[in-house]
A and B are shown apart, each in its own frame.
Chain A
Amino acid sequence: MAGPTGVRRLLWLYRRSLGANLRAVLEYETDFWIMVAAALAAQLVGLVFIGALFSQVPELHGWRFAEVVLIYALANLAAGIGALLFDGVWRLPWMVNQGELDYLLVRPYPVVLQVTGTAVGMQSLGEIVGAGAMLGWALWRVDLDWSPITVAVGVVLVASAVAIRVAVTVVSNAAVFWLTAPSSMLAVSVNQLGDLARYPLTVYGVVLRVLLAGVLPFAFTSFFPAAWLVGRDGYAWVGLLTPVVALYCVGVAALVFRRGLRRYESAGH
């Protein structure tokens, strides 16, 4: 077969897989635009909420309006990019329960990438556009020492945030290998906790802080990167740990998925 080899082959095939699914999604054009518009509106509502809060107070635990918007935008951008590129992971529980994973196992391509590439999140474009616009505005308004290093680190932080978000989603969906129920309810609940990371971590009590910074490190998708960008004392250096946390999460996800795959016993149970 012609085509690239090695890692380039993986990327090339993944792009082809997503492309095929994107074309399928665009067949239902009205539905696609409804989802994009609804997702965009949902982003704006979040902004209205933060705006209403800050019309009453100048700052929240030392965080000003633009800085809170920055945190909010980073959290949603990570979720949006994750949904654009890896939304197929939500189909894993159904595939395992129905024995559909059989087909994937015989193809010469990593199973986890085959699963994550089976869908494109229709809402993701609305999320990315909305969150991207908020991020742009917030970056323009906060005090930031612009330099090539800021930009480079910023890109690495966003990429790491996406990796963390996706890794947690993979692990929580891979729980199906042990639970065998065809429902992604557990994953949905875990993902909803990610919404807590849209606001400054300092507003939460100690239990939630430990949860969001350690157990399910959603704070590394938004709060800590934002703290580094605006140079917040006491938290900025934690932001630089984001890529390390991302590597750890991806490693755990790969391990859990591999262990789970070994338990897979096809349909008929």
Chain B
Amino acid sequence: MRAYAGLARAAARSVLTYRLNFLFGTGALVVHLVAMLALWSALLDAGRSVAGFTLPEMKAYLLIAFGTGFLVSIFGDFRMASRIHSGMVALDLVKPVDYQAARLAESTGGVVAEVGAVAVVWVGVVTFAGPVAAPGWPQGLLFAVSVAAVVPLKFLVVYLSTLLCFWTQNYLGVFWARDVVVSLFSGALVPLALLPGWFQATAAVLPFAGITSVPALIYLGHVRGAAALGLVGLQLAWAVVLWYAARLAWRGAVRKLTVHGG
């Protein structure tokens, strides 16, 4: 356990050391957030609502989508991909720690820095872009649990797709493809309620909705009580399933490893 805590600390420190890169790394997501805030503000002016979302609710939704999109995004995948491609991953294999758990520890360390950055952006938006919906305390508590569940869930989606680097040299393509799938099915692109019924039904049984839609809808109180508890349970269940699926995938992946040189 101490080894994993050490890895998490090292990851957090590494993010803070390269803080300029970290700041620029937030750029794409902040630009996207600005565009979305502007678009939805134009769309939902004069107290209009769309699919049950008023403007303050939509702003809260966008902020949560920004936050969950930013969690587990800066530390891990590109580093892991480049270590697989360069063969450095061989050194990770001989370390007396579990590879998957070690990567989770590092990502969790990164989350510490990410939460700080998200908080700064949230304060900025609330200051400059006007009122944002806020939940009561039982919803708030459930929201906190749901967001905490996003960390392992998102880590596993990222980890599983990064394992593809054992088969392809091109991580950027994998990264984009994952981005497309996650943003569409998680509700980060647009609330799932705005998409066709068959799509919502598909998204409801996939793990991705747990990354954005579930915490956001709980925060807004669009799902409450037993239904909300059920969704959080589903998030956790998916995290467990994906954890073991990743173990299985790893077993196949590591056989593909070719390390050149001597």
**A34 contacts B39, C-beta separation under 8 Å:** no
- CB-CB under 8 A from B176, the residues of chain A are 35, 38-39, 41-42, 123
- CB-CB under 8 A from B174, the residues of chain A are 34, 38
**A45 contacts B41, C-beta separation under 8 Å:** no
**Partner pick for A28 among B28, B51, B170, B177, CB 8 A cutoff:** B170
Which residues of B, 8-52, contact A by the 8 Å Cβ criterion? 20-21, 24, 27-28, 31-32, 34-35, 38-39, 41-43, 50-51
How many Å lie between the Cα of A48 and that of B21 in the bound state? 31
Instruction: Find the A residue at minimum CB distance from B30.
Output: A192
| A153 at interface by CB-CB < 8 Å | no
Chain A interface, number of residues (Cβ within 8 angstroms): 38
**B170 contacts A35, C-beta separation under 8 Å:** yes
How many Å lie between the Cα of A56 and that of B194 in the bound state? 8
With contacts A60-B39, A186-B24, A203-B42 taken as known, whether A31 is within 8 angstroms of B173 at the C-beta atoms is yes
Which one, B178-186, B204-212, B227-235, is touching chain A?
A: B178-186
| B169 at interface by CB-CB < 8 Å | yes
How many Å lie between the Cα of A55 and that of B32 in the bound state? 21
**A196 contacts B34, C-beta separation under 8 Å:** yes
With contacts A53-B39, A185-B21, A199-B38 taken as known, whether A48 is within 8 angstroms of B173 at the C-beta atoms is no
How many Å lie between the Cα of A208 and that of B37 in the bound state? 13
| A204 at interface by CB-CB < 8 Å | yes
| B189 at interface by CB-CB < 8 Å | yes
**A188 contacts B39, C-beta separation under 8 Å:** no
How many Å lie between the Cα of A198 and that of B38 in the bound state? 12
**A196 contacts B31, C-beta separation under 8 Å:** yes
With contacts A52-B194, A192-B27, A195-B31 taken as known, whether A34 is within 8 angstroms of B38 at the C-beta atoms is no
**B41 contacts A203, C-beta separation under 8 Å:** yes
Which residues of A, 38-78, contact B by the 8 Å Cβ criterion? 38-39, 41-42, 45, 48-49, 52-53, 55-57, 60-61
- CB-CB under 8 A from B172, the residues of chain A are 35, 123
**Partner pick for A208 among B34, B41, B51, B179, CB 8 A cutoff:** B34
How many Å lie between the Cα of A132 and that of B173 in the bound state? 21
How near does chain A come to B174, taking the closest CB pair, in angstroms? Answer: 7
Over the window 106-132 of chain B, the binary record of Cβ atoms lying under 8 Å from chain A Cβ atoms (1 yes, 0 no) is 000000000000000000000000000
The prevalent SS among residues of B at the interface is helix
How many Å lie between the Cα of A31 and that of B81 in the bound state? 14
Which residues of A, 3-30, contact B by the 8 Å Cβ criterion? 28, 30
Over the window 178-221 of chain B, the binary record of Cβ atoms lying under 8 Å from chain A Cβ atoms (1 yes, 0 no) is 01100110000110001100000000000000000000000000
| B168 at interface by CB-CB < 8 Å | yes
- CB-CB under 8 A from B184, the residues of chain A are 45, 48
**B190 contacts A49, C-beta separation under 8 Å:** yes
How many Å lie between the Cα of A123 and that of B184 in the bound state? 20
| A183 at interface by CB-CB < 8 Å | yes
**A45 contacts B21, C-beta separation under 8 Å:** no
How near does chain B come to A190, taking the closest CB pair, in angstroms? Answer: 9
With contacts A35-B172, A53-B43 taken as known, whether A196 is within 8 angstroms of B50 at the C-beta atoms is no
Over the window 42-77 of chain B, the binary record of Cβ atoms lying under 8 Å from chain A Cβ atoms (1 yes, 0 no) is 110000001100000000000000000000000000
**Partner pick for B50 among A28, A30, A57, A204, CB 8 A cutoff:** A57
How many Å lie between the Cα of A45 and that of B172 in the bound state? 17
**B39 contacts A41, C-beta separation under 8 Å:** no
How many Å lie between the Cα of A31 and that of B85 in the bound state? 13
| A147 at interface by CB-CB < 8 Å | no
- CB-CB under 8 A from B38, the residues of chain A are 199, 203-205, 208
**A31 contacts B180, C-beta separation under 8 Å:** no
- CB-CB under 8 A from B34, the residues of chain A are 196, 208
**A52 contacts B20, C-beta separation under 8 Å:** no
**B194 contacts A34, C-beta separation under 8 Å:** no
**A185 contacts B24, C-beta separation under 8 Å:** yes
Which residues of A, 226-268, contact B by the 8 Å Cβ criterion? none
Please give me the 8 A-B residue pairs with the lowest Cβ-Cβ distance, nearest first: A34-B173, A31-B170, A38-B176, A185-B24, A203-B42, A189-B27, A35-B173, A38-B177
Q: Which residues of A contact B (CB under 8 A)?
A: 28, 30-31, 34-35, 37-39, 41-42, 45, 48-49, 52-53, 55-57, 60-61, 122-123, 183, 185-186, 188-189, 192-193, 195-196, 198-199, 202-205, 208
A-B contact pairs, 9 of them (CB 8 A): A31-B168, A35-B170, A49-B190, A52-B190, A53-B39, A186-B24, A192-B27, A203-B38, A203-B41
